[in-house]
Structures are given as structure tokens and as C-alpha cells.
């Protein structure tokens, strides 16, 4: 693909009725592998010539760039960890020792959300930026956005977050029109923009788009389902793949809900769910090689239905901030390897972040999994919970404290029975012992521009 910065891809309008945004999405696995390995060799040659960070890292491991020719050869290489990237950024600010393009070629920067520490600053050359636009367009197209659509932007537009300006750029590139209010513009303004512009699509975090729908009658005097939205596309936090939460979103908006997944280190979004709604496809195989790591054995495992592991990413064609065998921290399950839509990339659901995982009396517990169970118990609960991890690290031998909002209209006198029911449901579903406290509906702040933090490190002061 020849790069040259432009707002909109020249043939965007011609793709309205295409099955995919790019034909790589439907190519046979053998052809995909051939393309990936050709691009892998080119990326290794680029790093050999331009990356001091990887020259030193590979030398310490005794591996030569020229030895990496096939996907399996990646297993000869060490992983790249988030901590290394943070150290690199601190050593050579602002873009780190791993920057592999001249500063004169950098045209854009983005920042991670910083939820696990200081933000990571990512540099983009002109070619990198257009690659991001292309990757994003493929995802939104799979999610159901089409050239010409108006799309209400309900992710935050602030703080350099990739859900902000890069999402807007990706939508522009594919010929859609971004309605640029942003979650930081507030629910009232977003809803009024929705009523004024009547967008076909809404994009945002699952908890926040649900909150928007709940506010619609108060702000607009009508239900969100009366605003004409046909697609709600969610990402940025768990929820879109949880059946009960998806059902609530679809009922509230009267629209189909599809999910996407990405991250600042590799791009904006690179996994996207199609109309089948059975998991997110990898639609950017020519830009990213993804390995599936079994954390217990330390082995790379095949992409087979039911497989679970952490995703490890290697960038292809990346210039400014390239990463090799990057430990993403996203723990996923493979839901399918074939799909009626014709896309050949495996389908996944994200179970949670490995750095969020708690170990309760030896059982691995993801906060998103607890949230899923509580959401399934609506209307007995309000679908809202917080975990109190008031212990050092991620491991406890005690029962895990979980605060749950009871359902609207429920009598607090019945809390004893509901507490026992929730604790039993959590034990049956997730094999850990919980100590549940029930609180009034709407105890916790409604979702806003920031991601919902399920885990608290101390017991909150409650009204």
C-alpha cells in the first residue's frame, strides 16, 4: 500500500457494499502466513538498521535479526514487557530508547490511559499514522459502520487517549463522519447532539453508553431507542462481550451492539466483531502477528476453539515505536475459528487483564468475570459492583470483599437472602469465596469519560 497522508481514503465510498474493508480479512490462513512472514523479515531488517533498543536486547539473548524468518522463529526472541517500555521512556524522553525513526519524521503522538502508571507516549510517522487509520477502518467496517454514516463519538476526546483523535481520524479515513462531542463533553451534550444529528452509530465504552441511554428520558424526554441509532460499538473496557450487558445495551438503544479491542502500544483497535456477534476477529494480520501464550506452561499454543491465553504482539511495518513480542496483558478465550461472514481471523472474547487478575485462595479471578455474574442478576441487583482488594499485591487467603448495588425497589430487609444468593452464585461460577456487602442503587458514581475501575484498594466511604 502506498502511503501519503489524506483525511479520507480515495476509494472509501466504493466499499459500502463490500464484504470486508480489505481482502486480507478473508484470505486463507496459508496466504495470510506468507504475507506475515514476508513482512516479518522486512520488519527485522528495519529494526536491525534502526533500533538501538532491539539491537541491544537481541544481542543479550544471543539472537540475530537474520535468524527470524518464520512465525515460529519469534519464539527464539525474548518478550518485551510494559516495564521495559516505561524504563525506555524514562531513559530517553519523550518517546523512549525504542524509538526507531528520526524525530524529524514524527508527525503525531498519542498517550496510553496510564491506568497502570504514568502514560506511555507513542510516536507515529506519516506511514504509521495512515497504518493506524487503515487498521481502525477495518475494525469499524467489521463492526457495522459504513462510509457516509454519522457516528456519535462517546469515547473521551481528551488526554491523548487513542479512543479520541485516532478514532476520529479512522472514521474520517473510511468516509464516515465523526460527531466530535466526546464523553468528556458530558452526557447532556452528547444526547442533544444525538437528537440533533441522528447518527446511525454510537461508539463508546459499554458502561457509559448504557448510562447515556438511561439519561435520555431526563435530558431529551424520549427513550434512546427512539433516536434512530442502528449500531452501538463498544470497547475500552469489558462489557460488550458479556451477554447480559450486551442485551441491556441493545434493548436500551434499539440497536445491534458489536465489540472491538485494541491498545495504544500497537494501534487503536485491531480486533472487531462482525454481525454474527460470536467474538472479535483479528482483521489486521498484515500489520500484527499475534501469538497466544499459555501463562501456566509458558508455551505458545495454537489458535483453537476454547484455547485461553495472553496475547503477544509483534508489529509489522511499524517505524517510530515498533514492538516485538510485546506482552499485551490481555487474557482471552478463542470462541471460534470459522465464521459465516467469511473472515478467517480467529474470534476471541477478552476475559480480562492479566495485571487485574486476583488470586483468591489459589483461584484465579478476573474482575470482569465478577461483573458479568452481577450483571446477570439484574433486577435483583443493579448490575453494579466494586471489589475491595485491601491487601498487598494480587493474592489473598481471605474471602474477597465485593460491594454490590441492590436492585431498584428491593427491600433492604431482604439483604440477607440476596447476599447468600450472590455469594453462592459467585462460588458456583468462579470457584472462589466472596463476602458480599449490599448497598443502595446508584451508590457509585455513574460512568463518565474515564474507564470504570472495578477494583478499589480500600473500602470506600459510602453514603
pLDDT at 449: 55
Grid coordinates given for 198 = 441522528
Give the model confidence (pLDDT) of 158-191 as tens digits: 878 899 999 999 999 999 999 999 998 999 999 9
Query: Average pLDDT of the chain?
Result: 93
Grid coordinates given for 267 = 494501534
Grid coordinates given for 25 = 480479512
Spatial distance between the Cα atoms of 168 and 259, rounded to a whole number of angstroms: 17
Q: Above 90 in pLDDT, residue 142?
A: yes
Mean pLDDT of 150-155: 96
Mean pLDDT of 296-320: 97
pLDDT at 1: 46
Task: Name which of 84-98, 205-219, 247-261, 360-374 the model is least confident about.
Answer: 360-374
- Facing residues of 216 across strands? none
pTM of the predicted protein model: 0.85
Whose cell is 434493548? That residue is: 251
- Domain spans in the chain, listed from the N-terminal domain onward: 10-269, 358-456
* Cα 257 from chain centre: 15
Residue 439: which residues within 8 A CB-CB, separation 6 or more?
A: 403, 404, 405, 406, 462
pLDDT at 231: 98
Task: Name which of 273-277, 369-373, 380-384 the model is least confident about.
Answer: 369-373
Spatial distance between the Cα atoms of 48 and 100, rounded to a whole number of angstroms: 10
Query: Nearest 5°: phi and psi at 187?
Result: -65, -40
Task: Name which of 40-44, 151-155, 216-220, 354-358 the model is least confident about.
Answer: 354-358
* Cα 183 from chain centre: 17
pLDDT at 161: 84
pLDDT at 5: 55
Pairing of strands 256-261, 231-234: parallel
Spatial distance between the Cα atoms of 24 and 31, rounded to a whole number of angstroms: 9
Spatial distance between the Cα atoms of 168 and 428, rounded to a whole number of angstroms: 43
Domains 10-269 and 358-456 share a fold: no
Give the model confidence (pLDDT) of 53-67 as tens digits: 999 999 999 999 999
Query: Nearest 5°: phi and psi at 150?
Result: -85, 135
pLDDT at 106: 98
- Answer with the residue of higher pLDDT: 294 or 397: 294
Mean pLDDT of 232-239: 89
List the end-to-end C-alpha distance of the chain, in Å, as a whole number.
Answer: 57
Give the model confidence (pLDDT) of 389-413 as tens digits: 998 888 888 999 999 999 998 999 9
pLDDT at 448: 65
Output the 3-class SS for the chain: CCCCCCCCCCCHHHHCCCCCCCHHHHCCHHHHHHHHHHHHHHHHHHHHHHCHHHHHHHHHHCCCHHHCCCHHHHHHCCCECHHHHHHHHHHCCCCCCCCCCCHHHEEEEEECCCCCCCCCEEEEEHHHHHHHHHHHHHHHHHHCCCCCCEEEECCCCCCCCCCCHHHHHHHHHCCCEEECCCHHHCHHHHHHHHHHHCCCEEEECHHHHHHHHHHHHHHHCCCHHHCCCCEEEECCCCCCCCHHHHHHHHHHHCCEEEEEECCCCCCCCCEEECCCCCCEEECCCCCEEEEEEECCCCEEECCCCCCEEEEEEEECCCCCCCCCCEEEEEEEEEEECCCCCCCCCCEEEEEEECCCCEEECCEEECHHHHHHHHHCCCCCEEEEEEEECCCCCCEECCCEEEEEEECCCCCHHHHHHHHHHHHHHHHHHHCCCEEEEEECCCCCCCCCCCCCCCEECCCCCCC
Percent of the chain residues topping a pLDDT of 70: 97
Closest CA to 273 of 281, 284, 282, 285: 281
Spatial distance between the Cα atoms of 143 and 261, rounded to a whole number of angstroms: 11
- Answer with the residue of higher pLDDT: 37 or 455: 37
Q: Above 60 in pLDDT, residue 37?
A: yes
pLDDT at 159: 79
pLDDT at 355: 77
pLDDT at 116: 47
Length of the chain: 463
Domain 10-269 = CATH 3.40.50.12780:
yes
Helix 126-143, helix 165-173: angle, nearest 10 = 80
pLDDT at 118: 66
Residue 122: which residues within 8 A CB-CB, separation 6 or more?
A: 95, 109, 110, 111, 112, 264, 265, 320, 321
Please compute Rg for the chain using Cα positions: 22
Mean pLDDT of 337-363: 89
Q: Above 70 in pLDDT, residue 79?
A: yes
pLDDT at 372: 85
Grid coordinates given for 422 = 450472590
Asked if residue 316 lies in contact with residue 284, where contact means CB atoms within 8 angstroms, the answer is: no
User: How would CATH label the architecture of 358-456?
Assistant: 2-Layer Sandwich (3.30)
Residue 227: which residues within 8 A CB-CB, separation 6 or more?
A: 194, 195, 198, 216, 220, 253
Amino acid at each position: 500500500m502506498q502511503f501519503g497522508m489524506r483525511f479520507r481514503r480515495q476509494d472509501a465510498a466504493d466499499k459500502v457494499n463490500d464484504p470486508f474493508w480489505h481482502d486480507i480479512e478473508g484470505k486463507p490462513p496459508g496466504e495470510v502466513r506468507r504475507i506475515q512472514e514476508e513482512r516479518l523479515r522486512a520488519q527485522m531488517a528495519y529494526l536491525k538498521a534502526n533500533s538501538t533498543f532491539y539491537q541491544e536486547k537481541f544481542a543479550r539473548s544471543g539472537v540475530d535479526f537474520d535468524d527470524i524468518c518464520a512465525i515460529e522463529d519469534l519464539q527464539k526472541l525474548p518478550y518485551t514487557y510494559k516495564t521495559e517500555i516505561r524504563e525506555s521512556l524514562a531513559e530517553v524522553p519523550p518517546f523512549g530508547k525504542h524509538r526507531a525513526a528520526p524525530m524529524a519524521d514524527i508527525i503525531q503522538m498519542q498517550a496510553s490511559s496510564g491506568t497502570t502508571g504514568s502514560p506511555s507516549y507513542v510516536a507515529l510517522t506519516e506511514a504509521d499514522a495512515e497504518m493506524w487509520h487503515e487498521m481502525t477502518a477495518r475494525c469499524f467496517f467489521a463492526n457495522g459502520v459504513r462510509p457516509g454514516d454519522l457516528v456519535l463519538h462517546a469515547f473521551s476526546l481528551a488526554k491523548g487517549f487513542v479512543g479520541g483523535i485516532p478514532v476520529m481520524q479512522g472514521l474520517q479515513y473510511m468516509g464516515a463522519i465523526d460527531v466530535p462531542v466526546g464523553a468528556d463533553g458530558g452526557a447532556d451534550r452528547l444526547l442533544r447532539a444525538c437528537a440533533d444529528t441522528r447518527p446511525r452509530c454510537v461508539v463508546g465504552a459499554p458502561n457509559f453508553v448504557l448510562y447515556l441511554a438511561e439519561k435520555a428520558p431526563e435530558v431529551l424526554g424520549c427513550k434512546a431507542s427512539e433516536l434512530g441509532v442502528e449500531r452501538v460499538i463498544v470497547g475500552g473496557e469489558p462489557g460488550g462481550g458479556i451477554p447480559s450487558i450486551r442485551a441491556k445495551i441493545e434493548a436500551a438503544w434499539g440497536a445491534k451492539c458489536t465489540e472491538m479491542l485494541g491498545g495504544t502500544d500497537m494501534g487503536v483497535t485491531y480486533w472487531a466483531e462482525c454481525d454474527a456477534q460470536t467474538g472479535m476477529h483479528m482483521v489486521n494480520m498484515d500489520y500484527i502477528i499475534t501469538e497466544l501464550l499459555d501463562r501456566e506452561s509458558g508455551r505458545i499454543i495454537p489458535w483453537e476453539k476454547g484455547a485461553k491465553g495472553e496475547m503477544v504482539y509483534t508489529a509489522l511495518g511499524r517505524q517510530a515505536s515498533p514492538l516485538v513480542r510485546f506482552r499485551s496483558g490481555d487474557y482471552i478465550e478463542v470462541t471460534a475459528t470459522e465464521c459465516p461472514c467469511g473472515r478467517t481471523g480467529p474470534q476471541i472474547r477478552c476475559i480480562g487483564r492479566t495485571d487485574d487478575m486476583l488470586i483468591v485462595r489459589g483461584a484465579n479471578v478476573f474482575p470482569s468475570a465478577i461483573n458479568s455474574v452481577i450483571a446477570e442478576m439484574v433486577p435483583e441487583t443493579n448490575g453494579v459492583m466494586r471489589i475491595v482488594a485491601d491487601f498487598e499485591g494480587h493474592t489473598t487467603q481471605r474471602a474477597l470483599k465485593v460491594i454490590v448495588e441492590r436492585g431498584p425497589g428491593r427491600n433492604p430487609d431482604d439483604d440477607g437472602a440476596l447476599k447468600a444468593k450472590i455469594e453462592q452464585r459467585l462460588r458456583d461460577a468462579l470457584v472462589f469465596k466472596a463476602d458480599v456487602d449490599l448497598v443502595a442503587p446508584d451508590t457509585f458514581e455513574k460512568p463518565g469519560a474515564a474507564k470504570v475501575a472495578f477494583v478499589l484498594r480500600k473500602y470506600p466511604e459510602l453514603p
